């Protein structure tokens, strides 16, 4: 049985391409294509679908406005040409974020996430001096010594480096098993930090380059053990 989906996209060539990808997958049945939020809402509030392919910027209301007004919540895959929306995407718990134009392979990866728990396939490498993260449709190398800390954002995590932030579909729990444990330590259910980057610790918080990070009671003793306190 196929998943049902709807495409909400104002650019015809992008909608056609997406429909073609759906057809090629053999997994999806496209129930409709709408070029604006109002028409899409009208359909979606009368018909339930499994998956919503959703552009963000369209005439009138945005894709996020549609999600705010929807009476139920299908799996959502955002399709946009602006990577800046990745920061909003996590708030709406979207399954994936496809930057237009995307390859069919990237489309398949998005479909895989519909059935794969968050983060299961999103990180490669473990106890080396670097990791690769999937971000914005590509694998990005981050050296351990560039990473200041990793912060949970629901089904996403934010890797904060000295000059950049990267958001990827993953969880702190999953990362805890995969990052180099000599360099990184979990200090809170929402934070893994680079132990070499701590500037100071005060009570139940630590500071890394001006970022205040909570340290939970459960992890505080482990953190202190790892510091070279003289």
| Binding-site ranges for another protein (CB under 8 A) | 10-14, 16-17, 20-21, 24, 57, 59, 81-82, 100-101, 103-104
Cβ closest to another protein, residue 69 vs residue 103 = 103
Cβ closest to another protein, residue 16 vs residue 39 = 16
Laid out side by side, the sheet with 205-208 consists of 200-202, 205-208, 211-214
Q: In whole angstroms, how close is the CB of 113 to another protein at the nearest point?
A: 20
Cβ closest to another protein, residue 84 vs residue 200 = 84
Cβ closest to another protein, residue 59 vs residue 210 = 59
**Beta strands 28-34 and 3-8, pairing class:** parallel
Q: Which of 115, 116, 96, 122 is nearest to 107 (CA)?
A: 96
Q: In whole angstroms, how close is the CB of 216 to another protein at the nearest point?
A: 40
Q: In whole angstroms, how close is the CB of 27 to another protein at the nearest point?
A: 15
Euclidean distance between CA atoms 63 and 36, whole angstroms: 9
Q: In whole angstroms, how close is the CB of 141 to another protein at the nearest point?
A: 21
Euclidean distance between CA atoms 105 and 125, whole angstroms: 21
Peptide bond into 101 cis (omega under 30): yes
Cβ closest to another protein, residue 11 vs residue 140 = 11
Q: In whole angstroms, how close is the CB of 31 to another protein at the nearest point?
A: 21
């Amino acid at each position: 049985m196929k998943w049902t989906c709807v495409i909400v996209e104002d650019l015809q060539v992008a909608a056609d391409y997406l429909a073609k990808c759906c057809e090629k997958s053999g997994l999806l049945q496209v129930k409709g294509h709408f070029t604006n939020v109002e028409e899409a809402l009208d359909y979606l509030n009368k018909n339930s679908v499994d998956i919503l392919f959703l552009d963000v910027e369209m005439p009138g209301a945005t894709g996020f406005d549609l999600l705010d007004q929807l009476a139920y919540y299908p799996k959502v895959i955002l399709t946009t040409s602006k990577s800046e929306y990745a920061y909003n995407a996590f708030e709406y718990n979207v399954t994936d974020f496809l930057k237009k134009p995307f390859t069919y392979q990237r489309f398949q990866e998005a479909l895989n996430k519909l059935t794969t728990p968050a983060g299961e396939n999103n990180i490669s490498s473990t106890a080396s001096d670097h990791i690769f993260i999937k971000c914005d449709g590509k694998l990005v190398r981050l050296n351990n010594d560039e990473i200041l800390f990793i912060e949970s954002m629901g089904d996403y995590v934010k890797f904060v480096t000295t000059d950049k932030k990267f958001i990827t579909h993953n969880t702190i729990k999953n990362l805890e098993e995969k990052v180099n444990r000599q360099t990184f330590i979990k200090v809170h259910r929402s934070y893994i930090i680079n132990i070499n980057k701590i500037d100071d610790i005060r009570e139940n918080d630590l500071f890394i380059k001006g970022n205040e990070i909570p340290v939970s009671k459960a992890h505080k003793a482990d953190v202190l053990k790892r510091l070279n306190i003289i």
